[in-house]
Amino acid sequence: MNHEYELLERITVSANIFGGKPIIRNMRIAVEHVLAKLAAGDTAEIILNEYPELQPEDIQACLLFAHRSVA
């Protein structure tokens, strides 16, 4: 299976969570929240420490999702 496809499978949408905004693995963590933290200067390590349920691949998936959204 394609690595990018596997990463993007981590991004889900549920109409019942955050009004259908993209989230990570059906958790109540929005992609936009992770991207905002990265844009504000937080490192992946900081985010992973704040949200221990996240995995490094989740952050990669957020970045790939953002890239695909603007490409």
Residue 58 has pLDDT above 90, yes or no: yes
For residue 1, what pLDDT is reported? 54
**Which residues contact residue 29 at a Cβ distance below 8 angstroms, ignoring those fewer than 6 apart?**
23, 51, 53, 54, 58
Please give the mean pLDDT across all residues of the chain: 96
Supply the pLDDT for residue 47.
Answer: 98
Q: Is the dihedral of CA 19, 23, 28, 32 positive or negative?
A: negative
Residues 32 and 60: beta-carbon distance below 8 Å? no
Q: For residue 28, which phi and psi values (nearest 5 degrees)? A: -90, 50
> What percent of the chain has pLDDT above 90?
99
23-to-11, 16, 26, 35, 53 alpha-carbon distances in Å: 6, 11, 6, 11, 13
